[in-house]
Amino acid sequence: MNPALRKTAFLLVAGAVLAGAIALKAPAFGYAADDAAPVYVTKIPNGFRDWRLISVAHEEGNLHSFAAMLGNDVAIEAYRDGKLPYPDGTIIAALHYGHVASEENDKVFGDPQSFVPGPPTNTQFMVKDSKKYAATGGWGFGHFNKDGSLGTEAQLKTCFPCHAKASRDFVFTNYAP
Amino acid sequence: MNPALRKTAFLLVAGAVLAGAIALKAPAFGYAADDAAPVYVTKIPNGFRDWRLISVAHEEGNLHSFAAMLGNDVAIEAYRDGKLPYPDGTIIAALHYGHVASEENDKVFGDPQSFVPGPPTNTQFMVKDSKKYAATGGWGFGHFNKDGSLGTEAQLKTCFPCHAKASRDFVFTNYAP
């Protein structure tokens, strides 16, 4: 090959590699990439409130919290198939509310025994992308306040160390049949 | 009209009325009609575990119960639009589980504070069909044991008198945003 052709071939190959790299960086799972904070989930995934149910949860201690965990299609399939680790594209949403007594229900039952979701408190997400979030077990973590704003860096950096203690690929929640 | 023609015309009209009656009796909302117990829901609606989330609930007293309420598309639309009474075709599912401590989560938190669904206990349904279930507010009630079998008549007949005390068209559960 003469030097001019060799240079042209090099540029073509370099261009193709660059194009591939750009394609790999494009958001693939319905959330937008944010280069300023690449280790966290910084945009609320579209349509999460329509996702199917994984399970429910209730935290006491200082939290008095009620949660519903929803999953996108990749998450629900992985849960139902018992697939571990969760595949890239998995998104798990945790919708948190206060855990409050229902005055209306308690009047009907005749006893204080019925608890329902109070006002929403926050919504959290785990997004599996083994390349983008390689430094945190392949999971990106997101915390959004009730007004939809992103949690602080101080909040966001507490997610991974705690989920690192979960026994099933950084996930605490089991599937409720 | 001569008597033979008149008789033929009568049979044609009677046949058409009968056909219409049969068409009206066909199940319209994905559950099967059961003439033996027309006031209750006696078949589990297809695919209910894939329905979207309405809300969650927790009952103490003698129940120690965790619930997720799911709705079919008609139910979710009615809830989101604040439509009352619920339109025919609405189905609300209540998936009940035990409310149990999570040993795994409590170890991570360092305090006994985390509650998760235990084994399923039963699944209940409310099906809106204002004609079929006219005697019970337009709602058919169903209770299915954890093995999928239908609850007893004694169980089923407790549903309506209690739901009659709910303030929003016989439904206790509000939508969790």
Residue A113's pLDDT band (cuts 50, 70, 90): very high
Q: Who has greater pLDDT, B19 or A72?
A: A72
Interatomic CA distance for residues A151 and B169, integer angstroms: 39
Residues A69 and A56: beta-carbon distance below 8 Å:
yes
Kindly report, residue by residue over B44-93, the tens digit of the pLDDT: 999 999 999 999 999 999 899 999 999 999 999 999 999 999 999 999 99
Report the percent of chain A where pLDDT is more than 70. 79
Residue A161's pLDDT band (cuts 50, 70, 90): very high
Report the percent of chain A where pLDDT is more than 90. 76
Over the range A79-112, which residues count as b (16 or more CB within 10 Å of their CB) and which as e?
beeeeebbebbbbbbbbbbebeebeebeebbeee
Helix and strand totals (H; E) in chain B: 5, 5
- Is A80 within 8 Å of chain B by CB? no
Residues A67 and A58: beta-carbon distance below 8 Å:
yes
Which residues in chain B are contacts of A57 at CB distance < 8 A?
A: 114-116
Q: What are phi and psi of B43, to 5 degrees?
A: -130, 140
Q: Which two tokens stand for residue B5?
A: 């023609």
- Is B44 within 8 Å of chain A by CB? no
Kindly report, residue by residue over B114-149, the tens digit of the pLDDT: 999 999 999 999 999 999 999 999 999 999 999 999
Q: Which of A53, A107, A159 to mutate to test the interface with B (most CBs of B within 10 A)?
A: A53
Which residues in chain A are contacts of B165 at CB distance < 8 A?
A: 108
Q: What is the pLDDT of residue B18?
A: 41
Give pTM, 2 decimals.
0.79
Sign of CA dihedral A152, A156, A161, A167: positive
Q: Which of A59, A68, A111 sits opposite B56 (nearest CB)?
A: A68
- Is B108 within 8 Å of chain A by CB? yes
Q: What is the pLDDT of residue B127?
A: 98
Interatomic CA distance for residues B124 and A139, integer angstroms: 36
